[in-house]
Amino acid sequence: MNTSSAYRNSSGAGDKTQRRILVWDAPVRLFHWLFAACFAGAWLTAESEHWRLVHVALGYTAGGLVIFRVAWGLVGTKHARFSSFVRGPASVWRYVLGILRGHPQRHVGHNPAGAVVIVAMLALACALTITGWATYNDVGGHLLGEVHEALASFMLALVGVHVAGVIVSSLLHRENLVGAMLSGHKSGHADEGIRRAWRSIAAIVLASVLGFWWWQWQVAPAPMTAVGNAATSHQTDREDAD
């Protein structure tokens, strides 16, 4: 049975059945924003020795999130499953041509071009986590560290493509895709929506991430804590002097 969520915009009777439907479940939305935050944080702390442990923790978190997203992409809700949005080259090309002509086919879930970027991001995130772990543990030498940095640059470029695609699609389809990824709702036919947001799964994922961060904080080497205390003491001395 074909469960494709794509449908073409029209001005006929079909538009009268459009309504606000739930498309993105809570786990998908949580993954999206947590993954974005982890990559942004890891990128900003990449060159700082002082924030090295934060960089590592965020990288491991991103890797864990990818594992969850792959699993959820197999057993999750309709629009979360890879089978609902991963398409062949022909579908991707047709969608890109539609964008160039200013009339792309609208998809309630991920569009074919966006799916390519998503899969590429997930694959790159796996490679980044593996090379990051190896670099942090002095496995593979300097060359692997260079590979890790190159992969991070590729990921940043993909993020740029993703953001540009969201902006273009939002303008062409006249819908707020960022808002949809926050609320989970979009406009569509009733049978294209999902029935359940699965907030309980999202809560478990969030608790796991927070628990991991807390554990990382607890096992952080004492010298790092000493450095932080020294910095605080130095700041206090300066304030007293003022």
pLDDT in tens, 158-169: 999 999 999 999
**Class at the top of the CATH hierarchy for domain 16-241:** mainly alpha
Q: Which residue has the tokens 């997930």?
A: 122
Q: Where are the alpha helices (DSSP H) in 102-198?
A: 112-136, 141-173, 177-183
**What gap in Å lies between CA 129 and CA 62, rounded to an integer?**
8
Name the region of 142 (left: φ>0; alpha: ψ -120 to 50; beta: rest): alpha
pLDDT in tens, 103-114: 888 899 999 999
**What gap in Å lies between CA 77 and CA 216, rounded to an integer?**
32
pLDDT in tens, 50-108: 999 999 999 999 999 999 999 999 999 999 999 999 999 999 999 999 988 888 888 99
Where in the chain are the domains?
16-241
Q: What is the pTM of this model?
A: 0.82
